[in-house]
Amino acid sequence: MKPQDVKFSNRDQSRFFPVLRHRVDLYFKQKSLSKLGNQSLVWKGLFMLGLLLLPYGLILTNQFPPWACLGFAVAMGLGTAGVGMAVMHDANHGSFSSVSWINTLFSGSLYLVGGNVLNWKIQHNTLHHTYTNIHDVDEDITGKFLLRLSPGDPHRKIHCYQHLYAFFLYGLMTLSFLVKDFRQAYKYTHQKDKKPNQAFSRLDIGILISGKALYLVFIAVLPLLMTDLSFGKWLLGFLVMHLTAGVVLSTIFQLAHVVEGARHPVPDTQGQLETSWAIHQLQTTANFQCPVALSWFIGGLDYQIEHHLFPTISHIHYRALAPIVQQTAQEYALPYNRKPSFFYALRSHIRMLRGLGEK
């Protein structure tokens, strides 16, 4: 099914979101707050970039033994995840700052971790946020071959073991950017009806190619030229960095949508879903409780319900908005899927992997 074929058609349910939006707007008005990020978020962004770039700089000094460089690679992996969740994510939603060039600057941090901004905006902002957990439309849960994250995907025998090997494959997430971005750019450009996506212009293709080339210079050429690391030692550090980043990023994202209680709605033959967009987000998304420090590091993605309902509001506000969203959902007898802890959500995800692997 194509994205443009899917329609949210239940107008009776649409009263929920105007009420919720009014209450959220009232919160910001009473508190005299901007919905966007503030100076503390800029400092947070600089910290996350430092967590990625400082260990990289130490490696380039060629003053440390291989075991220390391996530790730096782990730190770079955490920095990559931090940049992904707490910097470029808000920036690409336009919520990092009220200053457009600051949003553009920090959204470009995606290039430092091997990604592409336009691809991200199409796959994440447009497809995932609009058609969450809908098979063949939400690319986050569709067509993973060795992973069955959607009931709509075909079942293969190997999926029976996916709860055992899934987290290793999650570690390949950022590494896959090096190839996946080209495949997606071709798909978005050559599909017959491009709506709601946009074709890549020649400039976009140039940015894609040059971005990958510069990333390879950054992550491979300079370390091999400026240090005594052998190719084998560099490759080990490269893989450790990406596995660290991929496991952290993928796990956090999966705990929002592939957990018990998060639905995978199926449109009818006409592409109709008997719900409104906002309620669809409640039905397909979950929060999880976690310590404040972890919430800070993962960019507030423990509050994915609030993020999906208000993606252009900065994550620094989600903790305060959560009680408003939960209360309003309860008033309308709607689900509010909140797991009591990170590890509870993780176990729920593993049970989902096992269940999807058996069917």
- pLDDT at res. 190: 79
Instruction: Tell me how far apart the alpha carbons of residues 295 and 288 are, in angstroms, rounded to a whole number.
Output: 10
- pLDDT at res. 101: 92
Report pTM.
0.91
**Confidence grade of residue 1 (pLDDT, cut at 50, 70, 90):** low
Largest distance between two CA atoms of the chain: 66
**Angstrom distances, CA of residue 147 to CA of 140, 162, 206, 356:** 11, 6, 32, 9
Q: Which two tokens stand for residue 117?
A: 């901004």
Q: How far is CA 268 from the centre of its chain?
A: 28
- pLDDT at res. 263: 94
- Of 46-50, 101-105, 198-202, 242-246, minimum mean pLDDT range: 198-202
Instruction: Tell me how far apart the alpha carbons of residues 79 and 288 are, in angstroms, rounded to a whole number.
Output: 22
Q: Which two tokens stand for residue 94?
A: 């336009």
Residues 303-356 pLDDT 10s: 999 999 999 999 999 999 999 999 999 999 999 999 999 999 999 999 999 999
In the predicted structure, residue 4 carries a pLDDT above the cut 80: no
User: Strands, E, within the chain: which ranges?
Assistant: 7-8, 272-273, 287-288, 338-339
3-state secondary structure of 91: helix
Residues 97-136 pLDDT 10s: 989 999 999 999 999 999 999 999 999 999 999 999 999 8
